[in-house]
Amino acid sequence: MDIQTDLLKQIQELEEENSEQSLIPIHVLKTAQEHVDGELEERLVKAKNDSSGQRIVLIPYNLGNFHLTGIYIKFQTNGSVERAEFINPVREHNGIPDQLQQSFNTIFQRFHLQLRKCEQPGG
């Protein structure tokens, strides 16, 4: 499963459907694995430094055991973070992992992730 490719395809379809509108650029980074030291920090630094201006960056984040989550970061025109969310589709999971929050705060010192739970079909 390549979530990065799937997300990029869905974003491209969204852009094509809304070609008359000016959409905020969306960047999808490679999946960060929780169990790989430094990988999340590397993705967060890339999100912060690789582009400028208003944009959205999505970072798929694998907690293991087929538990794929994500990080959504919206940047303002001046490059500062406007919103940052940890997106978790698993209803029973009620928080942001401590290590994830610490890694995020290492790169973005003045901003905390917010938890976003996803509505699941049929529930």
56 pLDDT exceeds 90?
yes
Q: What confidence score (pLDDT) does residue 59 get?
A: 97
Q: Which domains, from first to last, does the chain contain?
A: 3-7+22-117 (3.30.310)
pLDDT exceeds cutoff 90 at 65: no
Phi/psi-derived region of residue 64, left when phi > 0, alpha when psi is between -120 and 50, beta in every other case: left
- Per-residue pLDDT tens digits for 103-116: 999 999 988 899 98
Q: pTM for the full model?
A: 0.87
**Residue 73, helix vs strand vs coil:** strand
Q: 16-40 pLDDT, tens per residue?
A: 898 888 789 999 999 999 989 999 9
Query: What's residue 57's pLDDT?
Result: 97
How many residues does this entry show for the chain?
Answer: 123
